[in-house]
Amino acid sequence: MYHLQTVEETEVVVLPRAAIDWGYSNLIEGQKMGRLIAEFYLYYQDDRIKHVFQNGKTKI
């Protein structure tokens, strides 16, 4: 179980691993979509870390 707190209205979608695997196998652009999502999160987390260190905060 996870606890999420957001500063703005957010929609969370939970997909079981089987659904993700199905998408990779059966959708024409499934693997490309997965790579784009992973790339987005990489950049997002990188920006968060840079922001934390630039502002001198210790909590991420």
* Contacts with 25 (C-beta within 8 Å, 6 or more apart), sequence order: none
CA-CA distance, 37 to 30, in Å (whole number)? Answer: 11
In whole angstroms, what is the distance from residue 22 CA to residue 5 CA?
A: 30
The residues of the chain scoring below 50 in pLDDT are none
Task: Name the pTM for this structure.
Answer: 0.46
Amino acid at 3: H
Cβ-contact 24, 30 below 8 angstroms? yes
Per-residue model confidence (pLDDT) at position 8: 84
